[in-house]
Structure formats: C-alpha cells, structure tokens
Structure 1
Amino acid sequence: MFPSLDTLVLANNHLNAIEEPDDSLARLFPNLRSISLHKSGLQSWEDIDKLNSFPKLEEVRLLGIPLLQPYTTEERRKLVIARLPSVSKLNGSVVTEGEREDSERFFIRYYVDVPQEEVPFRYHELITKYGKLEPLAEVDLRPQSSAKVEVHYNDQVEEMSIRLDQTVAELKKQLKTLVQLPTSNMLLYYFDHEAPFGPEEMKYSSRALHSFGIRDGDKIYVESKTK
C-alpha cells in the first residue's frame, strides 16, 4: 500500500494496460490525487475507466497516448472528461462545471447510435442524469455568400442577386448598366426589410457588402448625385 502517495508519474513509458483490479487500486492508492500517463501506451477506454478506482483522484494527464490518436482534439477532451466524473483538472486545464456538463452531453450524443452491446457503462449513468439526447442539428455558420435584393431606381424596381464578398465600389460597377449612371454619380442606400429604421447610406467604397448584414429580400436604393 502507498497511503501517503499523492502524485504518481507514469509518463513516457510502455505501460499499455492497467491490470490491477479496481478494488486493489483503491486499496493501494487511497490518497492519490494526481496521475500522469502522458505518452504511455494505453490503448483501451477500460483503462481510462479504471482511473475512477482512485477515490481521491482530481488531476489526470493523458496527452500522447495511442488510445486517443484517432479522435479530434475536441473529442479527446470531452470523452475523457465525461468518463472521469471526479477529475477537476485534465492535461493541466481546469474542468469547469459548464465544460463538464457540455462534455457529458456530448458523450451521450456520441454514443447514441452505437449498438447497445458496445455502449460504455458511463453512457447509461449519464442517460439517468440527462435523459436520452437527440443529436445536435448541423448549422452552417459560414457567412452568406450572396443575396437576392430589390434594386430601386427612380420608379423602377429590379430584383437581382449580388455577391456579398464584393465592395460597395464593385456593386456600383455591377449596377452601372442597370441604372444608366456613372459610378461617380451614384449614391447607394441599404434598407433592411426587417429593421424598424430607415435606409443606411453605403458611403464607403471599400466596405464589404457582407458587413451590412444584407439578406434575401433587402433593398438597395440608387440615387443620382446630380438629381
């Protein structure tokens, strides 16, 4: 027994499994608070689960182990946090309450479509805590690349598609033929069809259109400087 051992460093070795039974680990290391398995040879999630046998374990280091190589950085951290409910520090970073909840919910969704015989026991524990969660919808957060807008000039209205990665100056060139005005005499105003306030002058030639938040259904008003 090692009742006084607080920290155990097993980094940079060829340890590829934790073979001691759970009750033996608890008896041998009753006060272990920190363990480093950095760049060890662990290859099984069962070995990670065995770390829960240390009754006072708070900190774990698990970088560079073969088990985690196939996973993304996000998956590695969240899956480990979810399996180790008592650990408050992983790989040198504090595990906040919010991160723990996110990780545990991620864990449920990660295994939701896995056959029941392959689901880890921790999954069932977390289902009891959170219930069965549906997979998150995939949301495309990339900025919109184009928009269909109404171009108003005099009494005319023309619907057209504009690229949002272009600048105000480039938009003026695109509108030149339509409104029959030289770009130097053109004033543009942007109107958000859902906003409660009036049009915004598009006065800076180098400003990108996406910075206005232009969406389908919005309006561009064109006026002549000499009008």
Structure 2
Amino acid sequence: MEDTRICFNDNLGTVRWTGSIQGKEGIWVGIEWDDKTKGKHSGSYEGVQYFVTKVPDSGSFLKEPAFLAGLKPGVSIEYAIFDKYADKNAMDFTETYVPTVKNFKKPIELVGTEKIQKRQEQISNLKEIALQSCCVASINEGFGKHLISCEILLLDKNLIISWNQVSQILIEIPQLHTLSLAGNLIEQPLTNPVTHALSILALNNMRLNMTSVIPIISQFPQLQELHLFKNSCNDLNVPIELLSNLKLLNLEDNNITSWQSISDQCKHLPYLEKIIINSNPIRQLQYDGGFENLSALSIENCDLFDWKSIEEIGKIPGKIKELRMARNLNLTETMRLSLFRFNAVARIGSLVMLNGSAVRSQERIEAERYYLRSNADNPDAVNAYRWGELVTKYGPPSEISCKVVSEQDSLSGQNLSKNTITIMIRSLARVSAGKEFKKKLLLSMNVGDLKSMCSKLFGVQTNEMKLSFRDKGNIMPEFLDDNLKNIGYYIMSDDGEIWVEDLS
C-alpha cells in the first residue's frame, strides 16, 4: 500500500507508511498530503520517525478505520469517461435473476446491445475529455478504441502513479493534441517511452525538476507548448533539440533567479513566440541576442530592479507586442499606475497590449511625449535605447508642451452637446484591468457619483479608487480629485478617456 496515491475526503495524498505507533492502539496510516497545509509533521511521533515526507510538515497519521471510511476508491480511465459522458438516461435495462449459493434469486441488470452502441457513439464523438479530480488511478488497455475523435485530454488532480501509465494513454490515443497532467504527483519513472505527435503538454504543479522532465518531453518531437508552472525547474540545461519546435514556454513559479539561464536556453529556438516567467525572483533582464520570433512576454510578480530591464525588452528583434509586467513592486511603488503604464509604453515601441489592455495610438503619443518631457534631465534615459528615436519623432523635450489646454481649445471642433459627453471609461485597477465601457454622461454629474458608477462597473471600492481624465490634446492627466465638483469642471471632450486606478 505504501506510495499509493489516494483521495481522502477530497484531499489528495500519498500513503507513505502503515503499522503500529508506540503508545497507541490499532493500525495507523501515514500520509503525505499534496496540500502541505493539511499536514502536521514530517512523519514522526514523540521522537520516533515512522516515515519521511518529501515536503516538510506535510504528513499526518490516520487511524485505519477512519482512513478507510473517508477513502474514495480509484477508478479506471474508461470507467471515468463513461461515468461522466455517457447518457445514463438513454440506457435500457432488462431485469433478470441469477441463483446465489444459498439458492436465492439475485436481480441483475443487462444493458441492451443497441443502448451500449449508443453510449459508445456518444464517447467516440468527443473532441475534448475533461476528467479533473475523477480519481483516475488505472489506465486499462483498450480504452482508446472508443476515443477516435479525442484531441484534448485533461487529467488534472488524479491518482496516476507511473509515467508508464502516461505512455499507455499516448498509445491508446495516437491523435491526441493536448494533454494536461497538472497536480498528479507521479513518482514511478518512465521505462517504456513512446514517440507521439503531441503538441501541447501541461505538467503544472507536479514537483518536477528539469532532470525528470527531459525523458518525458523526449517523447514529443513536435511539441509546441510546454507548461511547467509551479515546479522546481530552475536548472534549464535541456538539449535544445527537445525544444526546437516550441512556440510557448511557461516557467512560472519555478524559483528561477537568472534571466540569463532562460536566455541561454531559449534565444536560439526558431519558433518561440511567448515566454511566461511570472513569480520568479528575477531582478534584471538583459538582451544578448536571439529571440527572433518572440512577440509575447509575461514577467508579472518578479523582482525587476529598475527600468533598464524594460528598455532591454524593447531591443528584442521579434518585436514584443504583448507584455505583462504587473506586481513588480520595485517599479511600481514609486509612481502612480498610470505613469507606470506611460513609462512602459514609451520604452517599448512595438507594444500593442500591456497587462491585458490595448495600447491605443493616442495613448502611445501621450506616453512617449511624457517620457521625453519628464526625463530630459535624466542621463540614464537620455542614453536609453529609444531616446534618439523619440527625439527625432517629437523634437527636443524642451519644445514639448505639457501645459493643460484651455477649456475653449479642448472643446473646439468637438462634437459635444451642451449638457452631455460620450466618453470611454477604462480600468487599470488590479481587479478589472483591461475592462472598458463607453458611457454617455451628464456634465452636471459630480465626481462622487461618477466614482459610484465606476465602482459598480469595475468592482473597485470608491474609497480605494482614483479617477483621471486624459484628453487628446494633453500630455498630462487631469485628476478628478474633488468629489463635489461637476465633471464638466475638468474640461472633458469626446476624444478623451477616464481612467480608473487603485488609490495605492
């Protein structure tokens, strides 16, 4: 029973030991929980070590009767598929009897042949099969004969114990395109590898290191997406031929400390378009060649130290079009979110999406002009990658006006009625970043009422919100900081936008 994967009261774990505990009656079961918060120790009791957990303090003891009472039995993959997807209401049961050893009659149910065929046809038409948390523990031979259309198989958080079971899945479903095994803590090594045309593989949250990943991905010469979120893959020394067809690599939360290790491994991958390295303690990025086709990068919740790293991203020849860089506190704690966005947009000329929100042409103009004007005396900025390009585009910083235009100028030529304005309201707040609504507003509405409306639209509390107005002709934002004033006071025009931000 040891090293068996189990589901106990909907919590996954691995049996590490069974036996007697000194000073306690009965048989006990030692379990290492996948969720370490369920654990109480590392396998010891009153100084005696009965087993050792792989993750500290993730173990506990259960008395055998209680363990058996809460145990959910594992099932075969075929059973799980039919149990979830077959139309049970269409089944035609015929009642009959068989004699027991004591000559009693025991009723049994026989399923009509036509109904069995109908159930199998339902399964054979499925293109995606999702079996998350279904207690799949065994992969029975021949189950794939029903899955002639299956291209996507999601087996997250099940009880698979061996990589050879995964190989059997691949043999059974040769046309499989996408396979997710997230949350399966598979400990038995691969001894029967296969070659398969799989395109997308998700191995998230499986406590893997790159040494254990290499034999797995070696089976997939056409692999295009590899997801390794929340593992221990911080040593990226992988034979480059195993990644040669990758378009997307997800290394989020792997305790990677150096961008250089990622660059050395990935910069020569010819088809790589997107890298996700969120939640890794990376302090600096420096471009040193390669990444010819990289167009999307996600570096949220890292430890980026300064804006030079963002300027380095702008040098990538693949032209980064989509960037996610929220929650880098060293960059955000010293400026408002709107100015943070301006600085990022100005430094990377190819951006079309930032933190999930589109970069519009007018926003780019304002961001680049603001960047020049506000950094004219900053030697680091003057020597930065895009500075010369922006000076050529807009002229010397001293000639760029940041003065708020007059009310007459801002309203001239605009299709604005006397009492109302139609304006885009965009959220940059954490809970709703990227959402936007076009609204027709009364100019007599006060700022407090506008905040209440925005709170309902974007889920931000009014006391945690700040509003600003961006007019087409202005480089600097106009902050709506007086709740009692009418919004008409802030010189709004149809070409402008209202931005909703977190107060801190």
TM range (shorter): 0.5 to 0.7
For 1:17, give the aligned amino acid. Answer: Q
2:382 to 119, 125, 150: 119
After TM superposition, the structure 1 = structure 2 runs for residues 213-224 of structure 1, keeping only pairs within 5 Å, are: none
Residue 35 (structure 1) aligned with residue 297 (structure 2) = yes
* Structure 1 residue 137 corresponds to structure 2 residue 403: yes
Instruction: Point out the structure with the larger helix share.
Output: 1
Moved more, 119-128 or 80-89: 119-128
Structure 1 match to 2:13 = none
1:15 match: 282
Alignment counterpart, residue 307 of structure 2, candidates 39, 45, 53: 45
Secondary structure in 1 aligned to 2:314?
helix
Offset at residue 134 of structure 1 (A): 4.0
Counterpart of 2:335 in structure 1 is 71
Letter in 2 for 1:136: C
Structure 2: distance between partners of 1:124 and 1:98 = 20
1:80 aligns with 2:347: no
Classify the secondary structure of the residue corresponding to 1:53.
Answer: coil
Looking at structure 2, the residues matched to 117 and 136 of structure 1 have their Cα atoms a distance apart, in angstroms, of 22
Greater length-normalized contact order (CA 8 Å, ≥ 6 residues apart) = 1
Cα distance in 1 between the residues matched to 2:362 and 2:348: 15
After superposition, the Cα gap between the structure-2 partners of 1:116 and 1:13, relative to the gap in structure 1 and judged at 3 Å, is closer
Q: Indicate if the aligned counterparts of 1:111 and 1:123 stay in contact, CA closer than 8 A.
A: no
Over 3 Å counting, the alpha-carbon distance change for 1:96 and 1:42 in structure 2 is same
Partner of 1:54: 316
The answer (yes or no) to whether the contact 2:313–2:348 under 8 Å persists in 1 is yes
1:189-200 equivalences under 5 Å are none
Name the CA distance, whole Å, in 2 between partners of 1:88 and 1:55.
15
* Alpha-carbon distance between aligned partners in 2 of 1:125 and 1:70, rounded to the nearest angstrom: 26
Matching residue within 367, 389, 399 for 1:103: 367
For residues 67-120 of structure 1, what are the alpha-carbon distances to aligned partners after superposition, in whole Å with 9 as ceiling and x for unaligned?
Answer: 2321111110011100000111111111111111111111111113x1546634
The change in CA–CA distance for 1:40 and 1:127 in structure 2 (over 3 A counts) is same
Structure 1: gaps of 5 or more residues: 142-209, 214-227
Indicate conservation of the 8 Å contact 1:107/1:123, yes or no. no
What CA distance in whole angstroms lies between the structure 2 residues aligned with 1:118 and 1:53? 15
CA contact (8 A) 1:88 1:94 kept: yes
Q: From the superposition, tell whether residues 140 and 70 of structure 1 become closer, same or farther in structure 2 (CA, over 3 Å).
A: farther
Distance 1:4 1:86 in 2: 19
Displacement after TM superposition at 1:139 (Å): 7.6
Matched residue SS, 2:275: strand
Paired position in structure 2 for 1:163: none
Structure 1 residues 87 and 138: CA distance shift in structure 2, 3 A: closer
In structure 2, the partner of 1:6 is: 273
Give 3-state SS (helix, strand or coil) of 1:60's partner: strand
Distance 1:39 1:138, change over 3 A: same
